[in-house]
Amino acid sequence: MIKIINSKDISLEDIFIRNLSLPDVSGQVAEIIRNVRKDGDSALLAYSELFDGVRPEPIEVTEEERREAFCSVDPEFIDILKEAAENIKNYHSRQIQSGYVISEKDGIILGQKVMPLEKVGLYVPGGTASYPSTVLMNCIPAKIAGVQEIIITTPPGKDGKIRPDIVAAAEIAGADRIIKCGGAQAVAALAYGTESVPKVDKIVGPGNIFVAEAKRQVFGAVAIDMIAGPSEILVIADKESDPAVLAADLLSQAEHDRLATAVLITDSAELAQAASKEIERQLSALPREEIARASIENNGKIIVAESVEAAIDIANRIAPEHLELFVDDPFKYLNRIKNAGSIFLGKNCPEPLGDYFAGTNHTLTTSGTAKFSSPLSVEDFVKKSSYMYYSMEALNAVSGKIAYFAEKEGLHAHALSALIRSKRQRAGD
């Protein structure tokens, strides 16, 4: 059963199990990356055969395969994908940034230009699971940003094909290419390029421990979105809350992964007991009971706090990925919340609403990183350059100050660079 504890009896740092003893796969991943860099497509095909049991040829999904896959998907699901995509577009279109120009002083122009990345790689998990929502959440902000080419990599099935719902989501979201490849080898291909896979500027998207480690190792050759940890949910609930609904919301994340963490903080000991019983009742009916039960029993907790305000203080220290504020007047407390990946306000806002449909992004900060980082957004797919222009007169007015500053730092060539134009101008006169 899930543990019930008093907030006074536990270290807040231990509420979410974040320093997990995971296998060290760095050596294996480094070898995979080396081989892909050396052998290109042949390495991709060999690893696909080794790990997925198939050599997908051609390695890229063809236009005909894309059409066939799209047509095989249930039309009702196509309509749902399209509606979700519109919601995501509507939300993320507000995130578009513009450059600016400052020309307040004679002869001086300063500015910033915002430019989309040229190529982005999107890793989509495959195998036994299928996540078309990942395609929408990562691809649509990139398209809005103006990325010129979006390449999806995802593991093929035993038949050498990509799951049709992934292909359908890619068509709706506007992905340019789909590569039948997964694992660390796909990350390596995106980072360094092969005969069939172009080198990209940034890799985004979730994956298993091998994918996460590969992203860590290729960072620097390319940008990455984040190194995501196991899924987290923290629910703050007042004493009037429905324990059955709370249990369902907690289990929605526990079923993701044995390492996922689901935590309820409430101001009612009675509600804590009722929620615990509901979790047990609902667990037995879940198809993924084994996974969810391991998450609940090893990492799950119900914490009894003195008040909703005290619960929020705990939440701010934890900085969870998903935070449900399960109270009747959530906007009363919204400004008190300082650290959370995504905030779900009120009793009619389950976490899966954000996963699939509302329009906010579900690629979120985990492992406490909400204290200093943000959900995936359009901003993740642009870069910025500053620029400046000075007339000769404007430079002459400040060159002495620049040289003085440079001399203070012992950088004499800097000082000369600042002064030489005016010196040569005077010599010419």
DSSP per-residue letters across 302-343: EEE-S-HHHHHHHHHHH--SEEEEESS-GGGTGGG--S-SEE
CB neighbour burial string for 252-276, b if at least 16 within 10 angstroms, e if fewer: bbbbbbbbbbbbbbbbbeebbebbb
CB neighbour burial string for 307-345, b if at least 16 within 10 angstroms, e if fewer: ebeebbbbbbebbbbbbbbbbeebeebeeebebbbbbbb
Strands, E assignment, 173-254: 177-180, 202-204, 223-224, 232-237
pLDDT per residue as tens digits for the range 97-139: 999 999 999 999 999 999 999 999 999 998 656 899 999 999 9
Catalytic residue among 322, 324, 351, 362: 322
- Give the pLDDT of residue 354: 97
321 among known catalytic residues: yes
Backbone phi and psi for residue 389, each to the nearest 5 degrees, phi listed first:
-140, 130
Contact 169, 136 (CB under 8 A): yes
232 among known catalytic residues: no
Per-block average pLDDT, block size 10, for the chain (429 residues)? 88 63 89 98 96 93 96 97 98 96 97 98 83 97 98 94 96 98 97 98 94 96 93 96 98 93 97 98 96 95 96 95 97 97 97 97 94 97 98 97 98 97 82
Contact 262, 300 (CB under 8 A): yes
Q: What domains are there in the chain, each with its CATH number?
A: 3-19+230-359 (3.40.50.1980), 26-224 (3.40.50.1980), 392-428 (no CATH)
- Give the pLDDT of residue 128: 58
Whole-structure pTM over 0.85, yes or no?
yes
Task: Give the residues across from 131 on adjacent strands.
Answer: none
- Give the pLDDT of residue 13: 63
411 three-class SS = coil
- Report d(CA 348, CA 326) in Å as an integer: 8
pLDDT per residue as tens digits for the range 348-402: 999 999 999 999 999 999 999 999 999 999 999 999 999 999 999 999 999 999 9
- Give the pLDDT of residue 429: 65
Catalytic residue among 171, 255, 321, 351: 321
